[in-house]
Structure 1
Amino acid sequence: MEHSSVKLPVYAKLAQIILGIIGFFYILYIGKDILIPAALALVIAILLNPVVEFLVRKGLNRILSIALALLLITAISAIVGYFIGSQIAKFSDSLPEFKKNLTTLEGNISQWISETFHISEKKMQAYIADAKKGVDGSAILGKTIGALSGLFVLFILPVYTFLILFYKSLFMEFIAQLFKNGEKDVVAEVLAETKGLVQSYLVGLSVEAVIVAVLNSMVLLIIGVEYAILLGLIGALLNLIPYIGGVVAIALSVLMAVATGEPSDALWVLVGYLLVQFVDNNFLVPRIVASKVKLNAFISILVVLMGGALWGVTGMFLSIPFTAILKVIFDRVEALKPFGLLLGDEQPDKPTITLKPKAKSRAKTK
């Protein structure tokens, strides 16, 4: 007995796709407390896999190899965290003076705007009060510190990473058995390409972050801005978030220069950071990072904003590598190749369709 396939109309297929997308993002949002550490652990496991395999080839037990790799990355994270913590501790000692300078700056700007645009000071104070209500800095800082020092970072994340590396062969076999024998070669190629893509992307991103941190710190030290190394490092970490992080880093350093120095310092900081961004965007990213992830700028900004809306700062960071993984899959599956083209940055030389209106034929008159 032959099974006849049911052909759905176009609107029914479109409705299914839309409902599927909505359901997918809804699951990502409501399950973020579980999925965020799992996604981070997956990225870290892919990054550490070459180290683990190298130690295994040298004759070490797999469990010991994984433990040594985790110990290595934990030590590096602890050193960076200690340095940032010590710099923040020094900054907290001068926080009252910083707040005083910032309040004085706020008053000067308010007075200038009031005199220039003929707005009463009462209205200006009301506008500033409304803006402060919309941005609760202490709450944001508290949430950030809580996220960094939470239980999942200290315990669950290393456990997830260890288990992913330990059961790597099991997961690979599970994926292989989902497909027919004729498709397993393609699946193996996709998995190998995905692993290499994420590894090279993360390594390139780390190298870029180190270089940007050095350049930012040098610029701020030359200008004489306080806490130059801390701001340079924070700027490099923010720069890991494509497009958006660089703007936030510039604004933060300019604000610090204005609050602790002369107004001219802020201008020089802006010029210096723009120069660093020029070097980063035109030399570092194309040669170190962009060569690994072929995504166009529009899709990159869109997925970063979507990642931030779903998972916060962690989502912004993870959005690019996971979108790049999707592009690898789309490029390998025939029915999904148009989506791979949409995500990429290669424009067709000659589009198959054009938006030119069809010329109307004139009726011949006798």
Structure 2
Amino acid sequence: MKAKQILFILTLLIVGTYFMLLGTIEAAGFLKPFAVAILLTLICIPLCRKLERWKFSRALAALTSVVISLLLFLSFFVVLSAQVVNISERWPEIKTSIQPKLEEFNKSLAEKTGLDFGEELGEFFPSQDSNSVNQSAKTETAAVANSPNQDASTQGSSTEKIAAKAASEVGSLLKNFFNFISSAVLTLVYLFFLLLYRNKVKLSILKFFNSQNRKEAEDVMNNSIELSLNFIVGRLILIAFLAVIYSIGLSVSGIENAILISVIAAILSLVPFIGNIIGYGLAMVMALFAGAEVGGIIGVSVTFGIAQFVESYILEPYVVGSKVEVNPLVTIVVVILGGSIWGIVGMILSIPITGIAKIIFDATPSLEPLGYALGEEDLEGADEQNFLSKWGQKLWSKVSK
């Protein structure tokens, strides 16, 4: 009988989780802007409070916070767009520089391991012969199309197909653009009203509790909101500091497009260990393809080593705090799960949402085991997992004596 009850409960959990995830995917158009707006609200609450202490009305403080958020996003978008445009303009030159090195590496790899990626490389970097063949094919096609014996109906159908394909691509591009604009506008609208009615939202949640438990629930909510604010704002500060450190170091090392690489590496630092490794690998690849000398490669390694030390032993303990750190296994799982549900937006939102969930679990006595499972408390060997941090700690202990 007990086994049947366990099986029944397990079945309900599996079915419930499946339909919850399915509903989350289906309702992505509504939930994604709203989730982003909630996180932005937590980030903007300190600014709103400060503006209100300066005698701003609540509506004006909320509107000012929304405008500042929009300006910061536009500035970030402009900087990244400029870097991407720079790469796209120089892509023929970069491709010319990269292709011989990749072909040489592939040849060496094929000789030593038997693995040959020549076909895959050919798709991205077609050889001169294939280019000439393609050009000849285009010339022959054009000659046939201009031939007086060519059937007019065939030419007409080809032109219609090309026009239909172009119209489809333009339509898809416009659809994605307007979807992005509508989601951004919705997010800003949600942000304004969440800031304006934040006290009402809080009181509405408290009304679910009876009078005996309301004070305890209010303490839990206040503690959760405060820790969530510190966690999210701290993470943003950490990313900003890392982006500055990476930008300075990579620029001094002579790496091209240092700002773009630095921003990407700083955002990737949200994923422990793996993110730092990917960011470092991206910078090294760009340095090698750009023809950097030994000094530049050493500069990249030193930059990431210093940044890792500063992040782990100066910024993270004091800016973010170890109480809300999520362990690496959970981090990787939630990032992959977020990406499979909401794509890039899900990957970005997954870590702060998990951090906030851990805060709420830790503050609720009945959910403390879940908070413990998500966190790094008593995680054996956590310090040994990061050799750069361990090296930095030893160096700091010697310097500080």
TM-superposed deviation, 1:82: 2.2
Structure 1 partner of 2:388: none
1:59 is paired with a residue whose SS is coil
- Superimposed CA distance per residue, residues 264-310 of structure 1 (whole angstroms, 9 cap, x where no aligned partner): 44565345424423432343223322435132232222222222222
Following superposition of structure 1 onto structure 2, how do residues 86-97 of structure 1 map, counting pairs within 5 Å? 86-97=82-93
Structure 2 partner of 1:307: 338
Output the CA distance in 1 between the equivalents of 2:178 and 2:222. Answer: 32
Structure 2 partner of 1:329: 360
Following superposition of structure 1 onto structure 2, how do residues 55-66 of structure 1 map, counting pairs within 5 Å? 55-66=51-62
Following superposition of structure 1 onto structure 2, how do residues 160-309 of structure 1 map, counting pairs within 5 Å? 160-262=190-292, 264=294, 265-266=296-297, 268-270=299-301, 272-291=303-322, 293-309=324-340
TM-superposed deviation, 1:334: 3.9
Q: TM-score under structure 2 normalisation?
A: 0.73
TM-superposed deviation, 1:115: 2.6
Structure 1 vs Structure 2 CA RMSD:
3.0
Q: TM-score under structure 1 normalisation?
A: 0.79
Change (3 A) 1:154 1:307: closer
Residue ranges of structure 1 left out of the alignment (5+ in a row): 1-7, 133-141, 350-366
8 Å contact kept, 1:255–1:266: no
TM-superposed deviation, 1:246: 2.5
TM-superposed deviation, 1:325: 2.5
Output the CA distance in 1 between the equivalents of 2:379 and 2:99. Answer: 54
Structure 2 partner of 1:50: 46
Greater helix content:
2
Output the CA distance in 1 between the equivalents of 2:379 and 2:106. Answer: 51
Q: Are 2:117 and 1:124 aligned?
A: yes
May I ask how many residue pairs the two structures share in their alignment? 329
Percent identity, aligned pairs only, is 26
TM-superposed deviation, 1:225: 1.3
TM-superposed deviation, 1:245: 3.1
Residue 275 of structure 2 aligns with an amino acid whose one-letter code is: G
2:324 is paired with a residue whose SS is coil
Residue ranges of structure 2 left out of the alignment (5+ in a row): 126-171, 381-401
1:9 is paired with a residue whose SS is helix
- Superimposed CA distance per residue, residues 60-92 of structure 1 (whole angstroms, 9 cap, x where no aligned partner): 322111111111222222223222222333332
8 Å contact kept, 2:106–2:117: yes
Residue 125 of structure 1 aligns with an amino acid whose one-letter code is: G
8 Å contact kept, 2:238–2:316: yes
Output the CA distance in 2 between the equivalents of 1:97 and 1:174. Answer: 60
Residue 87 of structure 1 aligns with an amino acid whose one-letter code is: Q
Output the CA distance in 2 between the equivalents of 1:158 and 1:20. Answer: 32
Determine which structure has more spread, i.e. the larger CA radius of gyration: 2
Change (3 A) 1:216 1:334: closer
Q: Are 2:101 and 1:111 aligned?
A: no
Change (3 A) 1:24 1:249: same
Structure 2 partner of 1:79: 75
Structure 2 partner of 1:28: 24
Residue 236 of structure 1 aligns with an amino acid whose one-letter code is: A
Following superposition of structure 1 onto structure 2, how do residues 340-359 of structure 1 map, counting pairs within 5 Å? 340-347=371-378
8 Å contact kept, 1:197–1:292: no
Residue 313 of structure 1 aligns with an amino acid whose one-letter code is: I
Change (3 A) 1:206 1:149: farther
8 Å contact kept, 2:45–2:195: yes
Output the CA distance in 2 between the equivalents of 1:280 and 1:272. Answer: 12
8 Å contact kept, 1:102–1:259: yes
TM-superposed deviation, 1:129: 6.2
8 Å contact kept, 2:245–2:303: no
8 Å contact kept, 2:272–2:331: yes
TM-superposed deviation, 1:315: 1.9
Output the CA distance in 1 between the equivalents of 2:364 and 2:232. Answer: 25
8 Å contact kept, 1:331–1:340: yes
- Superimposed CA distance per residue, residues 241-260 of structure 1 (whole angstroms, 9 cap, x where no aligned partner): 44443233223222211221
Residue 119 of structure 2 aligns with an amino acid whose one-letter code is: A
